[in-house]
Amino acid sequence: MDILAAIDSFKGSASSFELNQAFLDGWLTDGKKTNVPIADGGEGTAEALYHSLGGVWKKNEGIDLLFRKHESRYLLTDWREKKIAVIESAEVIGIDLLDKPTNQTIRLASSYALGELIKAVLAEKPEQIIITLGGSGCSDGGLGLLQSLGASLEGVTEGNPLLSVEEVHLNNCQEIFAGIEVIIAADVTSPYSGKKGAARQFGRQKGGTEETLGFLDQQAKKIADQIKRETTIDLDEIPGSGAAGGIGGALFLLGAQMRSGFELVSQMIGLEEQVKQADIVVTGEGRIDEQTIHGKVPYGIAVLAKKYQKPIIAICGSREKELGELTCFLPVVFSIQLRPANLEEAMDHQRTLENTKVLAQTLSQLLSNDSLY
């Protein structure tokens, strides 16, 4: 029985590659075992592409979302005879770079550091740049990034530029990407402002209070209206413009293309053909709930498995009791937890991998011909 493991990283616990390998190490039946690191535009996307495409990791000395000195990295690789750079936004503006997200940090954090990293990557003269937007810790409408790349922001003081901005002037900074294809990889379809927009939809997890988030949303709406008047581009009508606190919209203004992170990664690593060749498919993510169906890795892989009528198993750190429509695609979902544990214990790296291996052993025994006799 040939088995394919394509489990998304358990954020803060273990990488996709590690989880896949732990599961395959625990799987007892004979057959080919294929480890396919996977991601959906969030944490681990560059790593997943590196495992399939190879390439070179480059380091950059710069700053982070609070303007502190910070070393980050990006990937240079080749695909379809193109030189490609892969930037993970979380490398420089990730929420994990904050000790604890608070209302103060969301009022101070800026995407300026991402603009600085992009400029460093441009010096490598890539033909294509892929920018992943998952895991951002700021909510500045992407204005810091635009400022770094040459835009002028009227009225801006220190900290989160969206709080004080009056108007944005792009100053032809779109030309910075001349001759380069820029792709935004994201798993979020939120607009720039409004109830489902960047601030209100994701700002709470970044530490924002209702008062701060309401004002940020009001400011984002003001900027979206200005952009619409001057360019006819309505950021509130573009799915994904609210990704990473509005960075999706800022990059769109510079000519970037929006792509589903999962679809892009799966295309680049040839995932569909690998699913087609397997006898059984294993996927998963840290938490499986009703949001999983909205472009997350387990759902994307389940769709492929269903297309080729392959049995599929999903594993996770925790799951919601009711999964709604997702059960049509993922009817079998197991948590790896073996006993009651607090969050810190449950997320322990070694424990996560050991539990994954034990679950794989149990499932392989269950599916073997004589396991129930």
CATH of the domain at 205: 3.90.1510.10
Q: Assign residue 283 the CATH number of its domain.
A: 3.40.50.10350
Domain-embedded: residue 274: no
Report yes or no on 302 lying in a domain.
Answer: yes
368 vs 12, which has greater pLDDT? Answer: 12
85 and 23 belong to one structural domain: no
Q: Report the chain's mean pLDDT, rounded to a whole number.
A: 94
Percent of the chain residues topping a pLDDT of 90: 88
Closest CA to 64 of 102, 12, 14, 99: 99
Domain assignment present for residue 250? The answer is: yes
Taking only the tens place, the pLDDT of each residue in 209-259 is 999 999 999 999 999 999 999 998 999 999 999 999 999 999 999 999 999
Scanning the structure block, which residue is given the tokens 């108007």?
Answer: 167
User: What phi, psi does 249 have (nearest 5°)?
Assistant: -65, -40
Position 370 pLDDT exceeds 70: no
The answer to whether residues 219 and 309 belong to one domain is no
For 72, phi then psi, to 5°, come to -125, 175
- DSSP state, 308? T
As a whole-number percent, the residues of the chain with pLDDT over 70 amount to 99
Residue 179 lies inside a defined structural domain of this protein: yes
Residue type, 211: E
Residue bearing tokens 């950059």: 60
pLDDT value of residue 151: 96
119 within 8 A of 172, measured Cβ to Cβ: no
pLDDT at position 48: 95
pLDDT-derived band at 74 (thresholds 50, 70, 90) equals very high
120 and 171 share a domain?
yes
357 and 208 in a common domain = no
Q: Are residues 284 and 156 in the same domain?
A: no
What is the domain count for the chain?
2
Do 52 and 115 lie in one domain? The reply is yes
Cα 133 to the center of its chain, rounded Å:
6
Q: Residue 198: count other Cβ atoms within 10 Å of its Cβ.
A: 35
Whether 373 shows a pLDDT value over 90: the answer reads no
pLDDT by residue (tens digit) across 155-174? 998 899 999 999 999 998 98
What is the rounded distance in angstroms from the CA atom of residue 262 to the CA atom of residue 344?
28
Q: Where among 228, 262, 296 does a domain terminate?
A: 262
My answer on whether 242 and 183 are in the same domain is yes
Q: Which range of residues forms the domain containing residue 359?
A: 3-36+279-367
Q: In sequence order, what DSSP letters do the residues of 283-320 get, joined into one string?
A: EEEEEESGGGGTT-HHHHHHHHHHHTT--EEEEEEEE-
Tell whether 252 and 347 lie within a shared domain.
Answer: no
Same domain, 302 and 251: no
What the block records as the tokens of 226 is 């200005």
> Per-residue confidence at 369, pLDDT binned at 50, 70, 90?
low
121 within domain boundaries: yes
Do both 21 and 77 map to the same domain?
A: no
pLDDT at 271: 97
| pTM, 2 dp | 0.91
Q: What is the pLDDT of residue 124?
A: 96
Shared domain check, 136 and 12: no
Whether residue 76 is found in the same domain as residue 18: no
In the predicted model, what is the mean pLDDT of residues 332-344?
93
Cβ(148)–Cβ(110) below 8 Å: no
In the listed set 198, 232, 262, which residue is the last one of a domain according to the structure? 262
Residue 269 belongs to a domain: no
Rounded average pLDDT over 122-128: 97
Rounded to a whole number, what is the distance in angstroms from the first to the last CA of the chain? 20
Q: Averaged over 4-24, what is the pLDDT? A: 96
**Domain end: 199, 229, 262, which one?**
262
Work out the burial of residue 214: count CB atoms within 10 Å of its CB; fewer than 13 is exposed, 13-18 middle, 19 or more buried: middle
Indicate whether 169 belongs to any domain.
yes
77 located within any domain = yes
